[in-house]
Amino acid sequence: MSNSDSNNRNSLAPSPPEPKPMPPSSWAKKTGFRPKFSGETNATDSGPITIPTPNVDIEAGRVRTPATTNGVAQGDKPPVPVPPRPSMAKKRGDSDGVPKNSVPSTNGQAAAAEQPPRRNTRHEEVVDGLPVEVDEFVSRHAHMKYELRDSPGLVPIGVYGVQHYLSMLGSLVLIPLVIVPAMGGTHEETSMVVSTVLFVSGVTTLLHVAFGSRLPLIQGPSFVYLAPALAIINSPEFQGLNGNKFKHIMKELQGAIIIGSAFQALLGYTGLMSLLVRLINPVVVAPTIAAVGLSFYSYGFPLVGTCIEIGAVQILVAIVFSLYLRKISVLGHRIFLIYAVPLGLAITWAFAFLLTEAGVYSYKGCDINIPASNMVSEHCRKHFSRMRRCRVDTSQALLSSPWFRFPYPLQWGTPVFHWKMALVMCVVSLISSVDSVGTYHASSLLVASRPPTTGVLSRGIGIEGLSSVLAGLWGTGTGSITLTENVHTIAVTKMGSRRAVQLGACFLIVLSLVGKVGGFIASIPEVMVAGLLCFMWAMLTALGLSNLRYSEAGSSRNIIIVGLSLFFSLSIPAYFQQYGISPNSNLSVPNYFQPYIVASHGPIHSKYGGLNYVLNTLFSLHMVIAFLVAIILDNTVPGSKVERGVYVWSEAEVARREPAVANDYELPFRIGRIFRWVKWVGL
């Protein structure tokens, strides 16, 4: 009896304490498991998982729920809350109406004691520049220095605002350096367009941060508009133009952009975007944006190869800074990762200057200022292209540009409207809206309390349409929309304050008034522009594919959809671009512009010339094919919401009740109260 009692006492004795579970970011790396969910809820609790595979049904798109006791999975311990980090500046909790002695929650409200236990919510943490998922007990914004509504002071805001724009310098200024020479513009006209782009980018950023999504997102010329702009520039009717070719084509571009942007504004402000967003998910966004970057493969390195010793150095320096030196910090800033583009540009430019001064690109009896057609010597004509692209002293843009110039609307003349070009731009504006949907969701997870409502999303798309109308009136050659690179920049700089972005936009406007700034940028050698674009387009492709982290990337359904979308986005446009061109064709455009002259030789031939132009042009655009294939397959092939990674947006009623969400997205100056009845463009 005594033996049995002792055995019972031994069996009831408290077990030794279990080891403390490792943070998800540690055990996930060791086990190779990382849940991929979109939205704010996660069906699993974090714990010491050793064999995670049986708990996830990838094909069914759901998590096998283990047996639970009192809301806690057996074998797991309830998560241990981590106390909030100390305030670094004026934090959102000070203005959300939450008592300081109340229990904080992830939604910005005090948690009621009588509420039943809730499942852990999924949050995100930044690792090497992109957000990855962690659990509720890990602070969601612990990686951010300043969040959406923080006010750290004028000096920090100014420093971080300028840093934010410098890190995105390539996205802001490289597109004019491509399209203006393609239109036959001079270095002076390139300088004027660059200054105009900087001015419009600053103005539209202020409009978007104040009256759009209210997220700290820079607006500017997007690469989404580059391929359609080049297709319009190389239209058959413009090939024979000689005098004032630049202004004539620019006015055609302005008209097309204005009509397409007005369509985008209607899409947002009529609430149609709230309905369309139900069809747009990560499996659609990822291949569409990736196709934008991949579509320029025929332009990038072929132009770099014309002066390989400079172009290759430009690419290598950008790669070394952004990858091998990315973790080196100076005064708490990862300068090589943040400033990879401007630093790489400065170093390569200095290297090219040394080569030019050393006489590497000087040929006896040859003058770079004499056109190739007027050169008598065959020796000079042979080396003319190399001198023009490699030398750094061929541009007179810096010397000829004025010190002060104010960009004004209709500076190139009255826009010209043609329905066929406008219809192409309407489709492009739809693609740019898809890009913005992914950017809104990803950036809100980094800086805001919750994702925006569908009304806020529609409002953001509407203001982007109006911003692009302004870009068309001022004549930038492209629309002005949310740049995809915003997500990477916010994650790297750890700056999520919209005040910093607003102050940086004001700085950009002032900078645009200095004509010498535009002249300096316009004097960047063409081969260095191509090298930077190779790096930027590769980044854009990766940022597009990174949207798959919100879905089950290992699902065979998603793998096949993304694979088909990317393959056909390259193959179908190649068919249209190569149709009717023989190997011996004598084309009037350089080889790297040949994919954009499809309107003159595409396979679609009907008695309606305008319809032929629209269809041949649209089906030659990689992003259009990727979007069509992805959106059709993703919305017709069966799949659960978890497997598809369906974007979860905040509910309007919940957002109105939560002070944190309301303060994040409400319009300033009580404007939202006036239009409260318009439910599809606000909270």
Q: What is the pLDDT of residue 33?
A: 44
Residue 66, classed as helix, strand or coil, is coil
Q: What is the pLDDT of residue 303?
A: 87
H/E stretch holding 545: helix 526-545
Contacts of 57 (CB under 8 A, 6+ apart): 63, 64
Residue 403, number of CB atoms within 10 A of its CB: 10
CA 141 to CA 121: how far, in whole Å?
14
Q: What is the pLDDT of residue 281?
A: 93
| Residue corresponding to tokens 């990382």 | 34
Q: What is the pLDDT of residue 149?
A: 82
Longest dimension (CA), the chain: 117
* Burial (Cβ within 10 Å: 0-12, 13-18, ≥19) of residue 598: buried
3-state helix, strand, coil in the chain (%, to 5): 60, 5, 35
Residue 555, classed as helix, strand or coil, is coil
Residue 105, classed as helix, strand or coil, is coil
Q: Report the DSSP beta bridge partners of residue 123.
A: 134
CA 521 to CA 295: how far, in whole Å?
25
DSSP string, 9-60: HHHHSPPPPPPPPPPHHHHHHHH-------SS--SS-----S--GGGEETTT
Q: What is the pLDDT of residue 357?
A: 84
| Residue corresponding to tokens 């890990």 | 138
CA 322 to CA 335: how far, in whole Å?
9
Phi and psi at 117, nearest 5°, equal -60, 140
Q: What is the pLDDT of residue 674?
A: 66
Report mean pLDDT in 10-residue bins for the chain, 683 residues: 48 50 46 43 38 45 47 46 48 42 37 39 45 40 73 82 84 90 88 94 94 92 92 84 84 94 93 91 95 89 88 92 88 83 90 86 72 64 76 78 91 92 94 93 88 91 95 93 87 85 92 91 88 91 92 92 96 89 62 77 86 92 95 94 90 83 83 65 65
DSSP H helices in 295-364: 300-304, 308-319, 335-338, 340-357
Q: What is the pLDDT of residue 607?
A: 87
| Residue corresponding to tokens 């309407």 | 426
Residue 563, classed as helix, strand or coil, is helix
CA 670 to CA 683: how far, in whole Å?
13
Q: What is the pLDDT of residue 93?
A: 42
Q: What is the pLDDT of residue 375?
A: 61
CA-to-CA dists, residue 633 to 123, 294, 380, 389, 552, angstroms: 29, 21, 55, 45, 16
416-441 burial, b for 16+ CB within 10 Å, e for fewer? eebebbbbbbbbbbbbbbbbbbbbbb
| Residue corresponding to tokens 């950008």 | 318
CA 36 to CA 595: how far, in whole Å?
37
Cα end-to-end span (Å), the chain: 71
Query: What is the three-state SS of 621-672?
Result: CHHHHHHHHHHHHHCCCCCCHHHHCCCCCECHHHHHHCHHHHHHHCCHHHHH
